[in-house]
């Protein structure tokens, strides 16, 4: 712990040293972040102000939108600001907070996606028992379980990182504080810690992905027995979920289910699960969803009409 105090801040090397690339990335990620905030806030308000909130799928979707905002906001504003400055620094405390926030909100998002898959499984495979199985109390318990799962995943990650001694150098080859880049600059043998990180983060990503994959295979097999219209509607909803799962889990599994080391491609893959996938979530869940589009139209048309009357 004494050697830890030798470093009060870290230097983030960022995405690129090229000024033109940095300016392009600044404009791109600023647009992505604003689009993410606007899209998820619109979804949140549309669901909260409509009867859709009483439906489990949209209840979970509102929580997913909240997690998207929290998860991305723990990294993206700092990234956008750093693209405009020469020396990109982050304090030790802020770095540890980023490690915790990324894993806490990220794992909650993973577990909410799993809850949404379970909801679709019950709706399609056990439609007659749907309202009994997915009642309001059980939905609340599922959301509570996602938060508990997030805490169980993130606190061990944080405690392992805080326990590392940092005595120099303090340059992190990334655009945010992640565990593998931090292991690289720790002044101790980090092999065991790296294995524990892979066992924790990697297995969480892999196991939940396998559970999601199996559930959607069962759903798709069940759809063969449904009518053409029922099959079309279910495929539209499940297609949105599967797209989000692939966008989020593909890069996450590459990032954490591997030997505890860093690669140059890490930063590019990290952009997918920290910015790109959360930005596309609102589009994916609204463009092919008639109920969601109708609710948005109704809520926002009423809002604008009230403003005009006033």
Tell me the per-residue pLDDT of 80-116, one tens digit each, with 9 for 90 and over. Answer: 999 888 888 999 889 999 999 998 998 898 899 889 8
- pTM for the complete prediction? 0.84
Angle at 107 between CA 9 and CA 1, to 5 degrees: 35
The CA distance from 184 to 203, in Å, is: 21
Which residue would you say has higher pLDDT here, 254 or 246?
A: 246
What are the boundaries of each domain within the chain?
A: 9-308
Contact predicate 106/117, CB 8 Å? no
Query: Quick one: which of 220, 247, 92 has its CA closest to 164?
Result: 92
For the domain made up of 9-308, the CATH class stated in words is: mainly alpha
Q: How many CB atoms lie within 10 A of CB 283?
A: 13
Tell me the per-residue pLDDT of 133-149, one tens digit each, with 9 for 90 and over. Answer: 889 999 999 999 999 99
Tell me the per-residue pLDDT of 30-87, one tens digit each, with 9 for 90 and over. Answer: 999 999 999 899 888 888 887 888 888 889 989 999 998 999 999 999 999 998 888 8
Structure tokens, 260? 């505890």
Give yes or no for residue 5 having a pLDDT over 60.
no
pLDDT recorded at residue 1 = 41
Across the chain, mean pLDDT equals 82
* Residue 224 C-alpha from the chain's centroid: 32
Give yes or no for residue 184 having a pLDDT over 80.
yes
Structure tokens, 44? 């949140």
């Amino acid at each position: 712990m004494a050697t830890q105090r030798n470093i009060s801040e870290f230097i983030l090397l960022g995405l690129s040293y090229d000024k033109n690339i940095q300016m392009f990335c600044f404009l791109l990620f600023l647009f992505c972040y604003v689009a993410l905030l606007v899209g998820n806030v619109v979804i949140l308000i549309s669901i909260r102000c409509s009867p859709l909130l009483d439906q489990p799928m949209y209840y979970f979707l509102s929580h997913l939108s909240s997690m998207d905002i929290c998860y991305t906001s723990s990294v993206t504003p700092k990234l956008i600001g750093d693209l405009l400055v020469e020396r990109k620094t982050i304090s030790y405390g802020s770095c540890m907070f980023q490690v915790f926030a990324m894993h806490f909100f990220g794992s909650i998002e993973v577990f909410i996606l799993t809850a949404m898959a379970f909801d679709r499984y019950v709706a399609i495979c056990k439609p007659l028992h749907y309202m009994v199985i997915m009642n309001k109390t059980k939905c609340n318990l599922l959301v509570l379980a996602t938060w508990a799962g997030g805490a169980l995943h993130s606190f061990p990650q944080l405690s392992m990182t805080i326990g590392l001694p940092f005595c120099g150098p303090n340059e992190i080859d990334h655009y945010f504080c992640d565990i593998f880049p931090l292991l690289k600059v720790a002044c101790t043998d980090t092999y065991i810690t790296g294995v524990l990180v892979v066992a924790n983060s990697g297995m969480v990503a892999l196991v939940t992905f396998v559970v999601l994959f199996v559930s959607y295979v069962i759903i798709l097999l069940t759809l063969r027995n449904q009518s053409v219209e029922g099959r079309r509607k279910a495929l539209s909803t499940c297609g949105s979920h599967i797209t989000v799962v692939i966008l989020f889990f593909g890069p996450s599994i590459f990032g954490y289910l591997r030997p505890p080391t860093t690669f140059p491609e890490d930063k590019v893959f990290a952009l997918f699960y920290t910015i790109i996938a959360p930005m596309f979530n609102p589009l994916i869940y609204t463009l092919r969803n008639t109920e969601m589009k109708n609710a948005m139209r109704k809520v926002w048309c009423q809002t604008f009409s009230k403003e005009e009357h006033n």
